[in-house]
Amino acid sequence: MTPDFYTDLTTDSLNGKLLDGATSLRILEDQDIDLFPLLNAAYTVRKEYWGKEVQIHILNNAQNGHCPEDCSYCSQAKTADTDIESYRMKPDAEILDEARLAYESGAHRYCMVFAGRGPSDKRTAHLAGLIRKIKSRYPLEICVSAGLLDEDKARVLAEAGLNRFNHNLNTSERNYPNICTTHTYSDRLDTLKAARNSGLQVCSGLIVGMGETRAELLEVANTLRELNAESIPVNFFLPLPGTELEPTQDLTPDYCLRVLCLFRFLNPKAEIRAAAGREVYFRSLEPMCLYPANSVFLQGYLNARGGERKQTLQMILDAGFTIKSEVPLEELMEREKSQANQLVDSKGRLNVLKTESELRPARNLVDA
Ligand code: SF4
């Protein structure tokens, strides 16, 4: 591939020109398109909007398990046979304490995740009160993931000060019935439109590797472009013990990086997150994900562990990036101690499900 090919990718993306379908698919498939110049082309776009800053996110499972939906990739689904710690919504005091911990850990955004189909009117009002309390205490941006939402409820949350609503498209419209039967792709799209119409920022992404074709992956990226999603978590399917969905695709580091590059070219201004699966699928190329993506989770995912917090910060520091935080990266590194939060246990088995103390850190502190 000539150098012009890569330069054109960057220029077209920066000029807001939609990449044509054939070129988009080649980015995913064609080994004549070399990975490093491709990463550099995506990095040039990333740098234009985000510089060398990495947004770090911390997820708080404010309610875990007890979900009536049947998403076959999810350890909280009613159909999953998982050994997760289930609990109803955490008390406000515990959530507030975790917001404080997130703030002190250097996060500028606090994400609360509630399992379930969607909030009732009563739950929506409760959430609005909680958002007001967090906002009055900490200078954090708040993101909520709470399932399906209509415009009235979205407006209540927006008026309380919620910044962003997360609801992932997950996969293509064609593939959706293969991963979930209790709600549809359209239900998800309608929720995103309700959030947008209520003035909320939209966070929506996908889980790569759940049986979608490459053309469908492209379709999702373009739908998120049309929605003008401010934040796009690109997850890579982690088959957790006890969940129904079987892995069908081989996710190589090369492919995963190409996916991130494609999402960057198609959504040049978006916060693109190398999300779940980062530590598993990128392997030795993990730091390379910071070139197309500008955001990572600091310490793992809903019920699955990620890399050690310290390891993530060290990767950012070593690769020459900075973080968006009131606390300098070097100072955060000093605070971090090596914890027994490894992906592989002492017997070499994959050690992926979080424990109670990881899911409810604030309560753990109180008990201690
Ligand atoms: S993804 Fe959300 S809606 Fe689906 S089963 Fe899991 S918690 Fe429930």
Q: Are 100 and 138 in contact (CB under 8 A)?
A: yes
Asked, for residue 89, whether it belongs to a domain, the answer is yes
Query: Which pLDDT does position 285 carry in this prediction?
Result: 96
Strand partners, 54: 323
Distances (CA, A) of 191 to 64, 81, 162, 196: 21, 28, 15, 9
Q: 37-68 in b/e burial notation, b at 16+ Cβ within 10 A?
A: ebbbbbbbbbeeebeebbbbbbbbbbbbbebe
Whole-number Å distance between alpha carbons of 365 and 94: 10
Query: Which pLDDT does position 30 carry in this prediction?
Result: 96
Q: Which domain holds residue 138?
A: 51-367
Query: Which pLDDT does position 363 carry in this prediction?
Result: 66
By annotation, the residues acting in catalysis are: 67, 71, 74, 111, 143, 203, 273
What residue owns the CA closest to ligand 1's atom 2?
115
Three-state DSSP state, 73: coil
Asked, for residue 16, whether it belongs to a domain, the answer is no
Write the DSSP symbol of residue 289: G
Query: Which pLDDT does position 85 carry in this prediction?
Result: 73
Ligand 1 interacting residues, C-beta cut-off 6 A: 67, 69, 71, 74, 76-77, 115, 147
pTM of the model: 0.88
Task: Mention every residue, 6+ apart, whose C-beta is less than 8 A from residue 56.
Answer: 106, 107, 295, 296, 297, 298, 312, 316, 323, 324, 325
Give residue 239 CA to ligand 1 midpoint distance, Å. 15
DSSP states along 4-52: HHHHHHHHHHHTTPPPPHHHHHHHHH-TTS-HHHHHHHHHHHHHHHHTT
The CATH number of residue 275's host domain is: 3.20.20.70
Asked, for residue 300, whether it belongs to a domain, the answer is yes
The count of domains in the chain is 1
Give residue 180 CA to ligand 1 midpoint distance, Å. 9
What residue owns the CA closest to ligand 1's atom 7?
115
Three-state DSSP state, 350: strand
> Where on the phi/psi map is residue 212: left (φ > 0), alpha (ψ -120 to 50), or beta?
beta
Whole-number Å distance between alpha carbons of 308 and 333: 12
Whole-number Å distance between alpha carbons of 288 and 290: 5
Asked, for residue 58, whether it belongs to a domain, the answer is yes
Strands 322-323 and 201-203: unpaired
Low-confidence ranges of the chain (pLDDT < 50): 337-341, 344, 347-350, 368
Asked, for residue 95, whether it belongs to a domain, the answer is yes
Asked, for residue 35, whether it belongs to a domain, the answer is no
The token pair at 105 is 């850990």
Give rounded-to-5 percent helix, strand, coil for the chain.
45, 15, 40
**Of 61, 73, 76, 82, best ligand 1 pocket probe by most atoms within 8 Å of the beta carbon:** 76
Beta-sheet strands, E only, within 205-290: 206-208, 231-236, 271-274
Asked, for residue 17, whether it belongs to a domain, the answer is no
Asked, for residue 271, whether it belongs to a domain, the answer is yes
Give residue 76 CA to ligand 1 midpoint distance, Å. 6
